[in-house]
Amino acid sequence: MSNEFDYKRLDRNDAALLLVDHQSGLISLVQDFSPGEFKNNVLATAACGDYFGLPTILTTSFEDGPNGPLVPELKETFPNAPYIARPGNINAWDNEDFVAAVKATGKKQLIIAGVVTEVCVAFPALSALEEGYDVFVVTDASGTFNQVTRDAAWYRMQQAGVQLISWFAMACELHRDWRNDIEGLGQLFSNHIPNYRNLMTSYFAKG
């Protein structure tokens, strides 16, 4: 019996980060995570993109409407990143500027997080898959109305070939080997996982 499984692991040299519609209005709809937990997960994902030097694209949908502006912390983290304010396209992949920015990265792997999961994340994820990209969705930095709609979106994307991953797993897969940088990644984890500070305290105590 042949094994057709192909482990496509994240490669920091071939990955781009797409942060889709983390807007002040839309984030208020997120109910599958607590507000504090969700904000931490989103900022942790952004911190990973910054730490690993991933080309990052920020996009918003209909800012002048009820969706609201991009949360300021993301713009502060990536002041020089392409910022695509879509005038109305619900699926970011329907916006030519967004697709052009993605293609300009030259990366084959796309890491996507956004609000809401079944629309702003699933639509561009499925569209990118159709165009031959390897797509990874950060589950805990993507939010929606409730667990039912979230799970339906996860199933839909997974069946199509999207890899579902947490921000912590994303960081570990990109890093590959602790010897690449113990203190840098440890600090990132400590900033977003309070209990991880205990691990780093123990590590520094040994030194």
Q: Which of 157, 136, 106 is nearest to 45 (CA)?
A: 136
DSSP code for 141 = G
Q: CA-CA distance, 30 to 33, in Å (whole number)?
A: 7
Q: CA-CA distance, 77 to 174, in Å (whole number)?
A: 19
Catalytic residues: 120
Q: CA-CA distance, 188 to 186, in Å (whole number)?
A: 5
Count of other CB atoms within 10 angstroms of residue 69: 13
Q: CA-CA distance, 158 to 161, in Å (whole number)?
A: 5
State the amino acid at position 124 in one-letter form.
P
Q: How many helices (H) and strands (E) does the chain have?
A: 9, 6
Q: Which of 97, 152, 161, 149 is nearest to 125 (CA)?
A: 161
8 Å CB contact between 109 and 134: yes
Q: CA-CA distance, 90 to 60, in Å (whole number)?
A: 9
